[in-house]
Structure 1
Amino acid sequence: MPIRPAVPADWPAILPFFSAIVEDGETYAYPPGLSSAEAEALWMGQHRVVVAEEGGEVLGSATMGPNRPGRGSHVATASFMVGGAARGRGVGRALGEHVLAWAAEAGYRAVQFNAVVETNTAAVHLWRSLGFTVIGTVPEAFDSRTHGLVGLHVMHRYLH
């Protein structure tokens, strides 16, 4: 599955799944009701943004960069979104593998996800299968639309 750097012209293809995922209220703490410009600034304004596509159709996207500036910049972080119609087709795994390869090549020592919703079992399973471990859970840090207050996992994986 081709993964390439995102360009501004990709935003109209990303916006529908970005909005659906945020409005679903199960995996991202972004506020609901964001305008296209607000959502674009949040997603496309990251250090590096890529899209996974098939036959010219954008199926998902990932953002990546340093987890923290300065003395924390040796650890990468990333965020992922996959369109509803593309779920279960390996898009998330392909994006995850891409981020790991990019981070290793860029010289990062590890990748850390700061906020994986504990009830997002598909994501937790995927990240564990790619070598991440849960190093802690912040209790009741996410207000899930379905489950109420649930924990946010901090997940980590060394690269070297």
Structure 2
Amino acid sequence: MNNTSGPILLIDDDLEEQEMLETAFREIGMDNKILFFKNGLEAMDHLLSATEKPFLILCDMNMPVMDGLTLRDNINSNDILRKKSIPFIFYSTTARPEEVEKAYELAVQGFFEKHFAYQEMCNDLRRICGYWASCIRPTD
């Protein structure tokens, strides 16, 4: 399935969620390197210093230090990061209508509510990764 080699950035402050998502990514055949961040600030610091372009950003909404909406806004405000066209997907237990609306105002490419059933999580990730692996994107 994976024809895009960049890392997957997984931004979630819940260690158990990180582990479950990593297992699910492996189960669906994604062999990309997975980079874990506990909050948006850590992820932003990485994005500003990284030389390789991520395949995908999968981000929770509610985290300490910097939440997902603030991270997305910061990415959009940075010309270099914005032009990289990195797919940014929210995957969160929080999906209040006002948050979903704000996320799409910030031009996210998807908003999914987390499933606690493992197979449903795998199904979500399979759909998300399959779409982005086959999508033509800018190379910079």
Question: What range describes the TM-score normalised by the shorter chain of this pair?
Answer: 0.3 to 0.5
Q: TM-score, normalised by structure 2?
A: 0.39
Higher helix share: 2
Q: TM-score, normalised by structure 1?
A: 0.36
Higher strand share: 1
Larger Rg: 1
